[in-house]
Amino acid sequence: MFFTGFCTFSQNAKTLDGFWECRIDYECSWGWKDDRNSALLSKDFGSSYKAMVFGGSLEIKYSFGDEYYFEITGQNGCYRKGKMKYHEFGGREYLSGSWIAEGGGNAMWGTGLCCNGKIELYRDIKPKEKVKETTSGKKQESPHLTSADKLKPGKKFTLKNVLFKISSDELLPESNAELELLANVLKENPNLIIRLEGHTDIDGPRRQNKILSKKRVKKVKQYLVSKEIKPERIQLKWYGEKKPLVIYGDSEERAVNRRVEVRIIKN
């Protein structure tokens, strides 16, 4: 419908990395379902931006001018594609748009919905970031996330690119960038207290899945503590397979169930 086989961003495209507030509405024939939460957009892999949102995985694939083309995956046989428009108003930046769903069933299971809908991402516009010198003398941009980000108690977001070996709590090297980002947020917000919440897929014995989710959040905490974050600022909770995002679909589509979520406890 919208995608043309290439994946790139226009030269004047905005940098989208970081935390956004997310409003998402599914408009189904049986009624509607909405959600308000935080999303963490990351561009660690490839050239597209990715984040977990209610109903699946959001991928912003490319832009043309101030329009950004996206897809939400996570339901077997359902294609939710659309575009968002970037604009600024009242000290905030917005990405607002809608999508049309094709295939799948117009029904709700778990939190996967194959329905048309609308999405809006927004956040405060931050002051121009300072450029600092590195030990090598080269200039680099300071981290995108600063204390200006609104991290309100009760909000949560998913660490999209925190990955583990299959059936293991061993972190893959690809996880380092996003964990470093989280460590920077904690350093820039010294009063921030978070809770790491671990989840697994629905495959395997239930008891084993719960133990695995516990081991994984403990491993993430160990990483953050190694970055000089005080352990008392990091609470842990593990659910195993109790709260899947996707119930049906193949193993690749259910991969979104294997995740670590961050919930803001105090700031």
Residues β-bridged to residue 57: 52, 73
CATH topology (fold) of 152-266: 60s Ribosomal Protein L30; Chain: A; (3.30.1330)
pLDDT at 145: 39
pLDDT at 127: 60
CB 266 within 8 A of CB 192: yes
List the alpha helices (DSSP H) in the chain: 176-188, 206-226
CB 121 within 8 A of CB 44: no
pLDDT at 79: 81
Rg (CA), the chain: 19
What is the pairing mode between strands 234-240 and 193-199? parallel
Dig out the tokens for 248 from the structure. 């049906």
Q: Is the pTM of this model over 0.85?
A: no
Rounded Cα distance between 53 and 75, Å, is 13
Q: Where along the chain do the CATH 3.30.1330.60 domains lie?
A: 152-266
pLDDT at 247: 66
Sign of the four-CA dihedral 107, 110, 112, 116: positive
CB 246 within 8 A of CB 74: yes
Rounded Cα distance between 10 and 13, Å, is 5
pLDDT at 47: 74
CB 210 within 8 A of CB 238: yes
| Number of helical (H) and strand (E) elements in the chain, helices listed first | 2, 16
* CATH number for the segment(s) 18-124: 2.40.128.420
Coil/strand/helix, residue 127: coil
N residues, the chain: 267
Give the helix, strand, coil percentages of the chain, each rounded to 5: 15, 45, 40
pLDDT at 251: 66
What is the pairing mode between strands 31-41 and 78-89? unpaired
pLDDT at 5: 41
Q: Where along the chain do the CATH 2.40.128.420 domains lie?
A: 18-124
Show the low-confidence residues of the chain (pLDDT under 70).
1-13, 44-46, 104-112, 127-150, 247-253
pLDDT at 176: 85
pLDDT at 142: 32
99: phi then psi, degrees, rounded to nearest 5: -140, 165
Residues β-bridged to residue 39: 20
Q: Can you spell out the DSSP letters for 177-205?
A: HHHHHHHHHHHH-TT-EEEEEEE--S-S-
